[in-house]
Structure 1
Amino acid sequence: MTHPIYTQQQLQRKTLNQLKTIYAQLDTKTEVSDKRCKKSWVNAIITHQSTKLQKVDNQAIAQAELDHHIATQTQAIAPEPLRIVEISFDHHEYYAGDELVASISYDDNHLTQRWVVMINDKEVFRTNTVMRCHRFICIHYKDGSLPVQEQLATPPTTENRIMAHIFNECQNYGFEILDDGIYTHDTEDGKLRKLGEVGCTDGNWWVIQDSSGQQQYSNSVFDAVRSLSMVDTVPHAEAADCEELLDRPFEMLTVQDWELLREYAPVSESRELVAA
């Protein structure tokens, strides 16, 4: 039961009988030194109120400490949010901070379940869509049942991983990476010509074509480097590329592929029609 809190000044204005009534309502066992003296009743009531307030303060402090402890433990137990780096259409890596947790890759050799979750270079889950792989990693990482990815004794930094991915893609096109960007030897005079730059910021891949100087976001390092390979291509070569893209499955087309096809006008000489 809640009782009003009286100040000493308020109690001093009360009559002796009123003080006795208040004392009785408080149901306190605080001793009244002289029951004939009004001041004794006031002191007893004030002492009782002070004791109750101290208990409330102690409870509030204890509750605050408990809440802080629970919050601290929850923060310690809760896993760090995963960061996804899309290396290419068929390769995604999941990181907690700078530590690799798992990766998703695409297996052409399987007929139906081509998406695979890999940890420590071993298959831990296989399904037919990349989203199911994503869900598998997130659920089992959150509940702590995901196998632990072994980290290297001297793990590479995020910047080194990014450069490694860019280097691997550039090798596919014969590009050369210098301090200020990506270059090609495929020129009329054989001299190096700068194509642009490729990088990754907060998990988002981007490309800057040297001809435009504008930074554009890409879905992956594969798309970014591939867009540099199409810089200053001649119309005939572009037509040949588009003819190949027309035969490619929709799900394999990149954003740059769709942009190229959107601007492409079929050339009658580019493909022979043979009547059966």
Structure 2
Amino acid sequence: MPRMLDVSEDVRAEIGDEEADRLLAGENSPGSYDCTSCRTPGDSEQERTSTVLFVGEETAVLAFAHATCIPSQVVQVAEEQLQGAVRSITGGESPRPPQTPPAAAPGQAVLGVTSGLVLLEEELHPALVVEPTAPIARPGSDSPTDEFLTLLIEQGFQPVHALESVPAQNPGWSVLLAMGQLHAVLQPGTDGGSPTAWWQAHQPLQVTEGWRTAANKSQRVLVFAAPVGSIGQQPREDLLREALEKAAANGNLVAAMMPLAGT
């Protein structure tokens, strides 16, 4: 029986017309599956289903997702992440433990990302808070001035002076949630090219079931950013909100609303 599959042009280009036609005819596609985004069961005979192709340097894995969660697309991921996913799916050896990222060079900052639910306009919104580990200088500049927020405002983020309303959408930016984990924040590609990772997790980040449910429901994520030392690692969401409110009051917060998975 033909499946209710969506195969995007990008996925078709990667797997070839013959394989795509076999999928659409129901020859190589499963009836039931676990959605690669929300991790709940799906049935390609009963509901629209997206084909999602995860591509690494050497490995490619075809997965399936509810069309209401994410569209059919090609997702570029690190080879090590993909190999780990393959091993866990096939029951092979356990994925490698997370490795310590290389130490940043002097003056080089790493972007730290925290997830949490933020109450705005009487609704809980899935949010990410981005804070670098050191001041961010303008590329090519030797100035010690931290221009992190200025650079983001130039990229379409909006200053936040109070945590009251949902920030405006930043066109071309998106948040990639795949296989039920947070993978990247994507920014527009140059000259109309494919989106590139502005931030990419060294290892996919786990998010709470409540955060993932809220993100899948709204299909959008609020991304807040603040200079180093403004937010810190807060163990609870109420403390995270207090830190965000303080940063906003001090003029140290920008934000943007981004669609989920590039939709």
- Larger Rg computed on CA atoms: 1
TM-score range, shorter chain: under 0.3
Higher helix fraction (1 or 2): 1
Q: TM-score, normalised by structure 1?
A: 0.18
Q: TM-score, normalised by structure 2?
A: 0.19
Higher strand fraction (1 or 2): 2
